[in-house]
């Protein structure tokens, strides 16, 4: 019976010692339910888990059968002793009264604004209050999204299959489209990382943790343990300072211009570091519908000789650059500005000769 109780307790979502948590305090006059639930009215207070053990939650009614019953002898709940910030210790708290929070920002989750969505046909942004139609594919192929107006127009057209094929370059079945709202999209939340020394949990953004390319067995230590316990990050997790990034003629010119503008404005602040972090050759494929319209207009202007098709290519090259600006805050170089540019040279032909898109 004791082993069964311990197995049931182990199946719970156990918080480790050192975890930063919010403790729920029900409002005055509100009682917690007998099944371990808590009232929805109350306040949350920050604390740190100092001990996790098997027992009966504080405030829970005594098990049926009295003190000598099996339920009393072998409790099956994991309860927690938590040190509340301010020096008060709460004992035998049920898991339902606790929620894990980031030790840096003290928030249970950090959400991000989802990336914008655009209608595949009219290219208009799909706003939060709008309805839209989603192809709802189950494979890895990106699903097609249409605003409500364009979906109704395409569905009513006798050439809907041709229209969709020209838009996305593949066959699309309108019957599998599902009506959705932008607010129905899943939340974009930050991931978590745990300190190997104090076992506290942090959001990736709060911890300045670069986790995408990091091996799973890499040990990470929070800033507090690095300062107070002499822990060092492995080389895989060390983020070099912005000034260590290579310089280019463009970055030097921009950095000097920013410094000069700050000086002329009598603005005293930490220096701004500018770097070109990406500089690659790429090609831009022309939308088939757009290209065909130029071909038809060129043929009409040239008397049907096909000059439009030869003058407007299917793709043209450009150079893509990414320029970032950094400034040191609280000992960390923070990127506060990003600019992406596309440079089109003579090779772009009549589409965008010697132009720059920012």
Per-residue pLDDT tens over the stretch 88-103? 999 999 988 999 999 9
Percent of the chain at pLDDT exceeding 70: 79
pTM of the model: 0.66
Is the CB of residue 94 less than 8 Å from the CB of residue 60?
A: yes
Per-residue pLDDT at 351 exceeds 80: no
User: What local confidence, expressed as pLDDT, does residue 61 receive?
Assistant: 61
* pLDDT of 53 above 90: no
pLDDT at 298 over 70: no
Average pLDDT estimate for 333-354: 83
pLDDT confidence bin for 54, thresholds 50/70/90: confident
pLDDT the model gives residue 41: 78
Q: Report the candidate in 314, 323, 322, 312 with the shortest Cα–Cα distance to residue 353.
A: 312
Q: How far apart are CA 98 and CA 93, in angstroms?
A: 8
**Please, which pLDDT band fits residue 116 given cuts at 50, 70 and 90?**
confident
Average pLDDT, the chain: 82
166 has a pLDDT exceeding 90: no
Which pLDDT value is given to residue 70? 47
| Beta pairing partners, 201 | 194
Higher pLDDT, 221 or 213: 221
CA distances from 274 to 174, 281, 357, 358 (A): 48, 21, 19, 17
Length of the chain: 358
pLDDT tops 50 at residue 1: no
Average pLDDT on 109-128 reads 86
CB 148 within 8 A of CB 133: yes
pLDDT at 315: 79
Taking residues 63-75, what's their average pLDDT? 53
Beta carbons within 8 Å of 351's beta carbon, 6+ residues apart: 286, 312, 313, 316, 344
The residues, ordered by sequence, that sit 6+ positions from 224 with a Cβ below 8 Å of its Cβ are: 103, 198, 200
Is 273 exposed, middle or buried (CB count within 10 Å of its CB: 0-12, 13-18, 19+)?
buried
Residue 45: pLDDT over 60: yes
* Residue 24, pLDDT above cutoff 80: yes
Q: Is the pLDDT of residue 261 over 50?
A: yes
Which of the two residues, 212 and 250, has the higher pLDDT score? 250
């Amino acid at each position: 019976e004791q082993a069964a109780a311990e197995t049931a307790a182990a199946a719970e979502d156990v918080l480790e010692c050192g975890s930063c948590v919010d403790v729920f305090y029900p409002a005055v006059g509100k009682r917690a339910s007998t099944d371990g639930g808590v009232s929805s009215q109350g306040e949350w207070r920050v604390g740190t888990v100092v001990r996790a053990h098997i027992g009966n939650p504080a405030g829970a009614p005594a098990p049926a059968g009295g003190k000598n019953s099996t339920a009393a002898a072998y409790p099956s709940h994991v309860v927690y002793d938590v040190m509340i910030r301010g020096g008060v210790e709460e004992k035998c708290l049920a898991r339902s009264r606790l929620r894990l929070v980031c030790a840096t920002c003290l928030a249970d989750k950090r959400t991000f604004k989802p990336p914008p969505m655009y209608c595949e046909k009219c290219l208009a942004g799909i706003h939060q209050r709008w309805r839209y139609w989603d192809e709802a594919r189950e494979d890895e192929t990106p699903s097609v999204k249409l605003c409500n107006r364009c979906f109704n127009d395409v569905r009513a057209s006798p050439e809907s299959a041709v229209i969709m094929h020209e838009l996305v370059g593949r066959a699309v079945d309108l019957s599998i489209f599902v009506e959705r709202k932008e607010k129905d999209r899943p939340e974009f939340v930050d991931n978590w990382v745990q300190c190997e020394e104090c076992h506290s949990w942090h959001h990736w953004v709060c911890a300045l943790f670069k986790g995408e390319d990091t091996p799973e067995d890499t040990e990470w230590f929070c800033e507090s343990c690095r300062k107070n316990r002499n822990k060092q990050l492995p080389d895989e997790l060390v983020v070099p300072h912005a000034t260590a990034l290579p310089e280019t003629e463009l970055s030097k010119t921009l950095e000097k211009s920013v410094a000069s503008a700050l000086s002329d404005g009598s603005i005293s602040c930490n220096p701004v570091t500018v770097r070109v972090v990406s500089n690659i050759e790429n090609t831009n494929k022309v939308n088939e519908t757009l290209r065909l319209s130029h071909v038809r207009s060129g043929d009409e202007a040239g008397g049907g000789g096909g000059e439009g098709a030869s003058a407007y290519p299917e793709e043209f090259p450009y150079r893509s650059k990414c320029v970032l600006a950094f400034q040191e805050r609280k000992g960390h170089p923070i990127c506060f500005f990003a600019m992406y540019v596309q440079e089109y040279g003579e090779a772009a032909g009549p589409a965008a000769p010697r132009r720059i898109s920012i």
